Chains A and B, each alone.
Chain A
């Protein structure tokens, strides 16, 4: 008899416990934010700032894990295959969710089917800049110069958003400029600052110091509108109407993540990006805050895939 009582007690306790779990609010434990690039890059910086603030918002630590390699594909693949419980999320970029899937012949993941979008956080402009000794003062003059003599441009690597910004520029301007890929933005900048290569397509945040100091001359930003941090630098679109590229950072969870978790994460992301301290950091970074809803991010990924598909095809960039 006592044993039965105990069993009942135990059973009800268990039931209570289970009910408690089901009703508990996400998140109950720490969340891993996978950054698919090495520490120190711009995605890493955005990720760490966001993780810091989101930890306060969610009441659980958001731990950053850098899983670099294969242009972001390794980290993205890891999250695509992770347990879809909302405790492993990805800091996705234009590379992981538009370019790599278009470029890679063997797709390690599907950017739409394998992920549940959370929030598009920021848009980051790219910039077309030249060494000050290059005679061209405007985008139009650079196009004319490229038609007259052979030129070369540096980028942070084959198949990166900056390479494809350059390819889109060449296609729209109808010019031929040699592409010189580097391993990352740092070495590419060094060679342009030393006038080993005359032209560079770079992220605006990484080039901004050199532009302000006059060591590089910015001819145009790649966004449709001018960047608020450099109001004097025209948009390339002012010369080549319709030209628009930018890098972006967005949070993704694995497909199948419960909607409550997605909502909680998206809400935390929204509050985070609304924080003036975070906004200040992003402004120094020339990044435009979006803080979208999950649906808007899904639309965005679709639009980006559609925009880059012809560019990737025409530029004939592909990797096995």
Chain B
């Protein structure tokens, strides 16, 4: 069979001593920057690009890929231990992971995240190997109308999974949508809400907003009450989940892997969307939805598997079409071009050693991560037991450097400060930042695709319901909305959140 001989070729390439070493460097570096909040994979890969010029193409791409999925692992560690997602895609993990840590189950949460990620990573890598070429045709079937409907569904989900009142969640989504409007209008070039500052012409920086509302706001909240010291370290009694917990993990991990694999292929924050989607699914399916937000194992296992699967399958459009699904993939294209490889459908046939080598290295890298990370958790934890007065300034400095390094735009730092304060105020008002962030990310895409679909249909709005994929997505969003407002479910939902708020 072709697949086997191809994989054999891939493993042959990836298991050379040099490539193993680069893979290790990549995943270690990735985990480190994942643990440190604010320093993202995008910034790190961009900084390392010039170095890769000297390496073999395969080695450089193996290392860069390792940084990317290593960061997904590391990001969940800080999310669980200090409620500060190191990567935006682990924001969901923080919800229940941190609560588990508060309940003294930090070790279990970390191990669940690592094992779920490993399983999802392995499965998704296998999927990349089998389905890469055929799956790209699905992504190509998504036109403007389909994307619009997908975004609508995403926003509905964000409302459904938010804590507290539906009204507050909706308000946060709308605020997010408005913030997403800042910047140049794609169609007319008119600047909107930029207050006459050229620096906001491309809109507010996502990283800046995320670091502000999640990171800085969390630090401010923590400073309020030094006794409520939240680095959950002394409570790590055991790492490995017991048999019962293993049983609880299986379902969420499998579903998360499925959701993540599908959503990862779609351009635009696949891993983040996948984590949110998986969390919603788990909460809806759970027999004890009241546990969510209070340390539900499924709330860690599902989203962690989903974001890792999504991170892995986002390589599919890159490797088969040369189209980036997210900013990191755009950098990978840059890395390929630097090496004189034109990304596109030809890569699989013209550079089989490169294509299959990268795929095989993902497997090896995922294995390295799980082997390394379980023992290393202790080290990462030590990194976080540093006292507040040392830790917080360091984190804030790291965050600022990370944000600044994306565009070298000082206005992004003003945005961090502003959104840090805003996030703090919102937390005082018991408004969730997650729907705000999702509205902020999806808003511009929603608008762009709505208007593009309308131009393409020459002003005919029925385009959204006459195209089958779009119609299905809209029906699903309607179903989610109905579910949220059904009296029975609504009552139960309210109960859940009254308890979890206490």
Contacts and interface: CB of A to CB of B under 8 A. Distances in A.
Contacts of A157: 186
Given A70-B198, A73-B201, 8 more contacts: A39-B49, A48-B338, A67-B407, A70-B184, A157-B186, A190-B139, A190-B323, A205-B337
B144 A196 contact: yes
A159 interface: yes
B407 A317 contact: no
A193 interface: yes
B342 A208 contact: yes
Nearest to B444: A183
Given A193-B321, A318-B189, A320-B191, A52 B340 contact: no
Interface in A265-285: 280-281, 284-285
A44 B337 CA distance: 10
A213 B323 CA distance: 15
Contact of A49 (B143, B189, B338): B338
Given A39-B49, A66-B407, A194-B142, A180 B456 contact: yes
Contacts of A174: none
Please provide the 6 A-B residue pairs with the shortest distance between their CB atoms, ordered closest to farther: A209-B344, A194-B140, A40-B334, A196-B143, A70-B201, A319-B189
B267 A190 contact: yes
Interface string B76-102: 000000000000000000000000000
Interface string B157-189: 000000000000000000000000000101111
Contact of A212 (B49, B323, B346, B452): B346
Interface string A279-294: 0110011000000000
A186 B49 contact: no
Interface string B428-442: 000000000000000
Given A39-B49, A40-B333, A67-B408, A319 B191 contact: yes
Interface in B313-364: 317, 321-324, 327, 330-334, 337-338, 340, 342-347
B141 interface: yes
A158 B346 contact: no
B297 to A, nearest CB: 38
Given A48-B338, A158-B187, A193-B140, A210 B345 contact: yes
B390 interface: no
A176 to B, nearest CB: 13
A65 B407 CA distance: 9
Contact of A48 (B49, B187, B332): B49
A84 to B, nearest CB: 20
Interface in A12-53: 38-42, 44-45, 48-49, 51-52
B46 interface: yes
Contacts of A9: none
B446 to A, nearest CB: 14
B328 to A, nearest CB: 9
B46 A39 contact: yes
B417 to A, nearest CB: 19
A108 B53 contact: no
Interface of B: 46, 49-50, 53, 139-144, 184, 186-191, 198-199, 201-202, 267, 317, 321-324, 327, 330-334, 337-338, 340, 342-347, 407-409, 448, 452, 455-456, 458
Contacts of B199: 69-70, 74
A127 to B, nearest CB: 14
Contacts of B333: 40
B33 to A, nearest CB: 16
B398 to A, nearest CB: 19
B323 A189 contact: yes
A68 interface: yes
A186 B331 CA distance: 12
Given A178-B455, A193-B321, A52 B202 contact: no
A40 B50 contact: no
A71 B191 CA distance: 13
A74 B198 CA distance: 7
Chain A contact residues (Cβ within 8 angstroms of B): what range?
35 or more
A191 interface: yes
B323 A285 contact: no
A145 interface: no
A157 B183 CA distance: 14
Contact of B50 (A52, A68, A284): A52
A160 B103 CA distance: 55
Contacts of A69: 198-199, 201-202, 407, 409
Given A48-B49, A52-B53, A181-B187, A215 B345 contact: yes
A67 B404 CA distance: 10
A197 interface: yes
A249 interface: no
A10 interface: no
Which residue, B140, B141, B187, B332, has most C-beta atoms of chain A within 10 A?
B140
Contacts of B338: 45, 48-49
11 contacts: A38-B407, A39-B49, A40-B332, A40-B333, A45-B334, A48-B53, A67-B409, A190-B267, A191-B143, A209-B342, A319-B184
A247 interface: no
Contacts of A280: 340
Given A45-B334, A209-B343, A320-B191, A70 B323 contact: no
Contacts of B323: 186-187, 189-190, 193
